[in-house]
Amino acid sequence: MMRSGNRDMRRMLDRMGLDMKEMDSVEEVIIRTDVKEIFLRKPQVVEMKGKDSTIFQVVASDIEETKRDVPSFKEEDIVLVMQQANVTKEKAIVALTDSKGDIAQAILNLTV
C-alpha cells in the first residue's frame, strides 16, 4: 500500500513540474534567526526542484535549540557605519559585530 502511495505522490509531483530527489549523507541542517539557532542533526532531506524554485523538506528527530547572543549597538553607530561605508543596515551590523563594536574598524573593514 505504501508503494502505491509513493508512486501516486511521484506522479502528482511530476504533473506539478517538481523533480524530487533525496539528498544522501546530510550531517546537519542549521536554521538561524535573529534570536536563536536550531540544529537538526542527521536529518532526512528531500529536495524538490521546480521551474523557478526549490523546496527542501527536512525531517529530524535530533533537534537542539540555542539562543543567539545578539549584540546591541546604538542606532547612531549603525547609521554612521552605513553612511560612511555605503552599505545596508545588515552589513553594518555584521561589520560592527566582527570589529567588536569598533566603529572605525568596521568602516575600514567595509571600505578597504
* Predicted pLDDT of residue 12: 85
Question: Domain map of the chain by residue range?
Answer: 2-67, 75-111
Are 77 and 105 in contact by the 8 Å Cβ rule? The answer is no
* Predicted pLDDT of residue 57: 94
- CATH code that applies to domain 2-67: 2.20.70.30
pTM score of the predicted model: 0.56
* Predicted pLDDT of residue 105: 97
Are 29 and 60 in contact by the 8 Å Cβ rule? The answer is yes
Please determine, for residue 1, whether its predicted confidence score (pLDDT) is greater than 50.
no
Which cell goes with 53? Answer: 524554485
Eight-state DSSP code of residue 24? P
With cell 549603525, the residue in question is 78
* Predicted pLDDT of residue 3: 55
Across-strand partners of 23?
45
With cell 513540474, the residue in question is 17
| pLDDT 10s digits, 14-28 | 888 888 899 999 999
Q: How far apart are CA 45 and CA 23, in angstroms?
A: 6
Are 92 and 81 in contact by the 8 Å Cβ rule? The answer is yes
| pLDDT 10s digits, 46-105 | 999 988 899 999 999 999 999 987 678 999 999 999 999 999 999 999 999 999 999 999
Which cell goes with 107? Answer: 568602516
* Predicted pLDDT of residue 18: 85
